Structure 1
């Protein structure tokens, strides 16, 4: 099917979707989850084909990790759909309401956005998450996964559409968009058919969509995430948090990329943290002071602090004080998630008040910045822009609002 035809079919599906009550949407999500579980074998077979093709083409290990599915990951995708069914429906929620002096009742309600296009790379689990969130919030979805995950996405979408059919809903509420860069370009210029675009992936993809789209865009961001070891930090706590944030899954956007250590504790903290990271297989790239304090540190290159590693590599720098750490973050942060480990309430408050990011954390791992961990059931992505959707985007972020006015014959005077 041509993209324009897919988009028109999705647009037609938005009418019935807007009128669905919560019970109907929840039944559909549960049916989609059941069909996905039933299709586990075919999904995994398709995923193996994608992985084999990727390895033959020299795909990086971090991308392979993003692409790979297991039975547990498929189960997590199905469970995510079911958890969405258990969440309140944001559609119809009254945000605020009042009565004018003339007696007209005004209410601002949450409503679906319409057709949401999502462009993403190598993450077939995003396919289920995005389809489920869009459906629960009353939206139709056009899902443009990367060619590297094509067979996986086909299998997942087939299961989800079968679940929609079982529930008596239009299957065009969920669509897989296939094709090359020309199709992405069509999505970016489909004003009137696509109401919102959300890009997920590397900086190149995101920047291309943000700068080239005539359709409104919510920008998800790369995760150049920092952690500050304050002079009052419990170093045992800092070590645990750093290891979790860096090594649990290094290829994701909420993984830690840079550690900033205050000079007052550097002589003790740097060797301890480098030793723990080295034992976990992490290569530390440090400034001259870090190299001086521990011979295992690799000298950081000129641009070492500017971007994500997405691997078992980490940048480290010694800073004079908390103000210098905050200034470093202001220069290099992508606005995703920034952390401080401290025992000082004053330092925690200064950090949270000074750092401009979608999530600012005190004494916990950046790996918590995730829709599932936030209780959203799943997420469309993590927005680093500063409009209404910032941070993990769940159901509420996939709605707009509409004003409804009710009177009994009032007319405006003047």
Structure 2
């Protein structure tokens, strides 16, 4: 397995441990900012492998910053079975465009929460806030809040006031902006008109885009255009909840829960190397099982096929 990542030196240990547990060797390539940390960590891992009687070269790292070496790694299909990129859009695009090795695309994408008039607003506000502020740099953090037009006049001021306590910038469409700009306390909120590109942007920061929609159909259409990572509906309507889970195409879909639950540990799968947005071979949190394959074994008494 090849793992290419831009930051977060802790990924070195996470991926190495999971690959070893699954019986895989791994080649690690961290970004230039963490190259020394990756090299030092890999050295310690090699020492631990030797003490355990395991092959010391089961975990290796590329510390040279030359990007041509990454291109070569992406084409080692004779030796490498899978590439896992962990980083921004440009890294994923570079891997997909240059690899002859299968690439797991994941860890990026716009996440949505859609709020219906039937939702319990008092309980919905903490869910939205949790999805946005608990860890804004995570891939499953909320990016766009969709609110039904019938719910917007009451719900938007409620959630905006709480988000403002965490210094969240609100990038609103015209309808949401008009509602919030007329609400008590708005002068203390970071209100901005949304640009069209904001609704397709993974912010990874204390910023959320807000859009008012006419019905669930419009919400589903919007998510189909921009989403696919972690999507949630807050509703008291069981029929719409079922429809949402059936029609949204994403790695994880939630009813009355935060998008932050899209995580291997939260699903009981243990640690993960990435959250894959691929449809094959892995989708969602990639843990030990997704790092293995299988072989069919047949035993007989000198059997021949007829």
TM-score range, shorter chain: over 0.9
Separation of aligned partners in 1, 2:60 and 2:270: 21
1:160 to 45, 52, 55: 45
CA-CA distance at 1:388 after TM superposition: 2.5
Deviations 1:162-183 (A, max 9, x none): 2212211111111112222111
Deviations 1:63-93 (A, max 9, x none): xxxxxxxxxxxxxxxxxxxxxxxxxxxxxxx
Separation of aligned partners in 2, 1:150 and 1:312: 28
| Aligned counterpart, 1:98 | none
Note the residue ranges of structure 2 that are not aligned, 5 or more in a row: 182-188
| Aligned counterpart, 2:29 | 144
Secondary structure of the 1:339 match is: strand
Q: Would you say the 8 A contact 2:39–2:63 is kept in 1?
A: no
Secondary structure of the 2:105 match is: coil
Paired residue total:
297
Separation of aligned partners in 2, 1:349 and 1:258: 21
Secondary structure of the 2:264 match is: coil
Separation of aligned partners in 2, 1:383 and 1:337: 11
Separation of aligned partners in 1, 2:29 and 2:120: 45
Note the residue ranges of structure 1 that are not aligned, 5 or more in a row: 1-115
Q: Would you say the 8 A contact 1:342–1:362 is kept in 2?
A: yes
Q: Would you say the 8 A contact 2:12–2:41 is kept in 1?
A: yes
Separation of aligned partners in 2, 1:306 and 1:228: 15
| Aligned counterpart, 2:197 | 303
Deviations 1:361-386 (A, max 9, x none): 11111111112222233111000010
Separation of aligned partners in 1, 2:154 and 2:133: 22
Separation of aligned partners in 2, 1:271 and 1:143: 47
Structure with the larger helix share: 1
| Aligned counterpart, 1:69 | none
2:264 aligned with 1:379, yes or no? no
Secondary structure of the 1:169 match is: coil
Separation of aligned partners in 1, 2:301 and 2:235: 60
Alignment of 1:82-121 (within 5 A): 116-121=1-6
Secondary structure of the 1:373 match is: coil
Separation of aligned partners in 1, 2:112 and 2:291: 28
Separation of aligned partners in 1, 2:196 and 2:222: 14
Secondary structure of the 2:150 match is: helix
Separation of aligned partners in 1, 2:51 and 2:121: 54
Over the residues paired in the alignment, what is the CA RMSD in angstroms? 1.2
TM-score by length of 2: 0.94
More displaced 10-residue stretch of structure 1: 188-197 or 316-325: 188-197
Deviations 1:240-294 (A, max 9, x none): 1111111111111111100000011110011111111111110100000111001
CA-CA distance at 1:221 after TM superposition: 4.0
Alignment of 1:14-413 (within 5 A): 116-179=1-64, 180-295=66-181, 296=189, 297-333=191-227, 335-413=228-306
CA-CA distance at 1:207 after TM superposition: 1.3
TM-score by length of 1: 0.70
Separation of aligned partners in 1, 2:231 and 2:46: 39
Deviations 1:110-139 (A, max 9, x none): xxxxxx001111011211111111111110
